[in-house]
Amino acid sequence: MRQEDFEKPATMAGCNDLSQAKVAGGHLFSRKDEGLTLPSFLDAAVRRFSDRPAIEFFDRAYSYGEIGSRIDGFAAGLAALGVKKGTRLGLCLPNTPYSMICFFGALKAGAIIVNCNPLYTSRELLTQIRDSGTEIMVTIDLKAAYENLGKIVGEAGLKHVIVCSMADTLPAAKAMMFRLLKRSERASIPKDGIHISYEAVMRQGRERPLPAVALFPDDIAVLQYTGGTTGVPKGAMLSHAALISNARQMIAHEGSDMLRDGVETIMGVLPLFHVFAMTVIMLLAVEIGAKQILVPRFNRDALIALMEKRRPTLFPAVPTIYGAINAVAMTRKVDLTSLRLCISGGAPLPYEVRAQFEKLTGCTLCEGYGLTECSPVVSVNPFDASAVRDGSAGKALPGTIIEIHDPDHPDRVLARGEKGEVWVRGPQNMTGYWNRADETAATLVGDAVRTGDIGYLDQDGYLFLIDRMKDLIICGGYNVYPRVIEEALYEHDAVAEAIVIGVPDPYRGESPKAFVTVRPGKTVTAETLQAFLAERLSKIERPRAIEIRDTLPKTLIGKLSKKELIEEERHAHLSPQGEANRRPAHVDA
């Protein structure tokens, strides 16, 4: 890519252009004039790493050559079903080899991928299908994945539902046992004109040539729906160039000589329908010819056993997963010394979690920052452990410019050290939101994405995040940032997890309220935590109440989720009976 494509005037608050990057192994960003799209990106990996394992799933390995052949067959089969350029095709799958085969196969047929969470409710799936105009859905014959989808197939307007067989992904002996012993977990699939088996699509594909579809780097590859924590989910339009660029930016980041072509093994426990895993596991693996060990769902003890057995070198995950592993390591010996690099995203990484995990494994755990609208990675700490900065979300990826803008005067770019809204410019940015011109205009300003996050850049260009603008608590006219309170709570050795939200306050308008879980073997009271916080927070920042709970709500990828607690508090505020029915351990400040 041309350097001038990324360089900005010196007045920019923070940037990391291509001239500052040591591009590893000849990996370059996707140039528009290069014509590179995700199918050609995949084809290049198949040529380079044909005999190298691409996927391992329940002891069954698939080479890049085998995966490439299956992708071509699936693409031809989709063309036989009428898929053409622009057809929206949904993937409602847990992590399996189908995730990669159907993703790239659909793109080769010209489709736009619509990633769907298999654990969404029927209503959530229906909303996303209708909003995107999804015509074909790919799922798997597991109740957990198909059940909610099956309830709305008739009203969703889908032309076809392609059903993949879980048993067919397994080694022969395990496949037989699955069919015999796991019948209760298998979904009952209707025999009608809508449902069709994956194998039937592949049979049609084997009889047809690979479709010739004219794709371009700026074409939309994926509609990636936002989490919807603050409203109706929106489909971020991510182009071929944006997604390829983001994977290659990771490889061009500081210390990227740790990522070796044709050598690495990536543990893939994060779901590939999530944008973090899609880019940092699947697309990164394709670019460097890494083997993905795919895990269909997170189970702490099973994951640790698998990691000890298969010895991965790379492990992208979220803080709660690293914390869960740390908790096991406190009770027994855990050998994860094969790990060389771990990347944490999705939520703030507490210092204690990082320090414990690095001590346990001896590897570098780098916190990063991103959002769906940026494909998703914006910044990561350097992969060199000595350059990681505590509490920071790292430096901008090569080719990415981070600016800090005054929230009250958005046109004004703030100096380093000043706190404001984070804006992002870079080749990984979305094109806009699907069918939402007003939302697009509010988020995309020129070539910049307004993130809605509050943070600052230090003098060396490291990004420090304070909180979401939408999570900001206005307490008696003062700005209170939940993350500041959460980080203070994490300093107590008994606190395992913490969430802080704003709740109605008759005097201050809003006040912070904290929810925490306690580490195994530890005990603590809300009164003790209040006293602990009194030495670390101003009076206005101290929570009005602290609840100690057994668990806190999480998203499917393990990120702590506030929306359930916000809704719970809203109902409790409206209904005194609702408050009385709950049994928290709490104390008023």
- Determine contact, residues 78/206, Cβ cutoff 8 Å: no
For the chain, give the number of residues: 589
Least confident of 48-62, 212-226, 527-541: 527-541
Q: What percent of the chain has pLDDT over 70?
A: 90
Q: What is the pLDDT of residues 503-515, one digit of tens each?
A: 988 767 789 999 9
Is the pLDDT higher at 151 or at 348? Answer: 151
pTM, two decimals, is 0.83
Least confident of 8-12, 52-56, 207-211, 431-435: 8-12
CA distance 90 to 412: 41
Is residue 59's pLDDT more than 90? Answer: yes
Rounded to whole angstroms, what are the CA distances from 31 to 1, 162, 506? 5, 34, 56
Q: What is the pLDDT of residue 456?
A: 97
Q: What is the pLDDT of residue 25?
A: 42
What DSSP character marks residue 569? H
Q: Token pair for residue 282?
A: 């699947």
Asked: is 1-37+251-428 a CATH 3.40.50.12780 domain? The reply is yes
Q: What percent of the chain has pLDDT over 90?
A: 75
Q: What is the pLDDT of residue 477?
A: 64
- The amino acid occupying position 499 is I
Is residue 576's pLDDT more than 60? Answer: no
Q: What is the pLDDT of residues 15-28, one digit of tens each?
A: 554 433 334 444 55
CA distance 546 to 336: 35
Q: What is the pLDDT of residue 288?
A: 98
Is residue 578's pLDDT more than 80? Answer: no
CATH architecture of 472-581: 2-Layer Sandwich (3.30)
Taking Cα atoms as reference points, which of 478, 455, 486, 587 lies closest to residue 539? 478
Helices marked H in 23-171: 38-48, 64-80, 97-108, 122-132, 143-150, 153-156
Q: What is the pLDDT of residue 32?
A: 54
DSSP for 222-279?
EEEE---TTSS--EEEEEHHHHHHHHHHHHTSTTGGGS-TTT-EEEE-S-TTSHHHII
Q: What is the pLDDT of residues 417-474, one digit of tens each?
A: 999 999 999 999 999 999 999 999 999 999 999 999 999 999 999 999 988 777 878 7
Torsion angle, alpha carbons of 486, 491, 495, 501, to 10: -10
- What's the chain's average pLDDT? 89
Q: What is the pLDDT of residue 20?
A: 38
Q: What is the pLDDT of residue 277?
A: 96
Give 210's pLDDT tier (boundaries 50, 70, 90).
very high
Residues of each domain in the chain carrying CATH 3.40.50.12780 = 1-37+251-428
Give 348's pLDDT tier (boundaries 50, 70, 90).
confident
Q: What is the pLDDT of residue 15?
A: 54
Q: Token pair for residue 202?
A: 């592949």
Q: What is the pLDDT of residue 584?
A: 31
Taking Cα atoms as reference points, which of 402, 349, 350 lies closest to residue 374? 402
Q: What is the pLDDT of residues 385-425, one digit of tens each?
A: 999 999 999 999 999 999 999 998 999 999 999 999 999 99
- Which three-class secondary structure string do you get for 369-414? EECHHHCCEEEECCCCHHHCCCCCCCEECCCEEEEEEECCEEEEEC
Residues of each domain in the chain carrying CATH 3.30.300.30 = 472-581
Q: What is the pLDDT of residue 411?
A: 95
Residue 460's Cβ-side half-sphere holds a number of Cα atoms within 13 Å equal to: 11
Q: Is 483 helix (H, G, I), strand (E, B) or coil?
A: helix
Least confident of 39-43, 339-343, 505-509: 505-509
Burial degree of 521 (CB within 10 A; 0-12, 13-18, 19+): exposed
Is residue 476's pLDDT more than 80? Answer: no
Is the pLDDT higher at 115 or at 182? Answer: 115
CA distance 58 to 96: 10
Is residue 55's pLDDT more than 80? Answer: yes
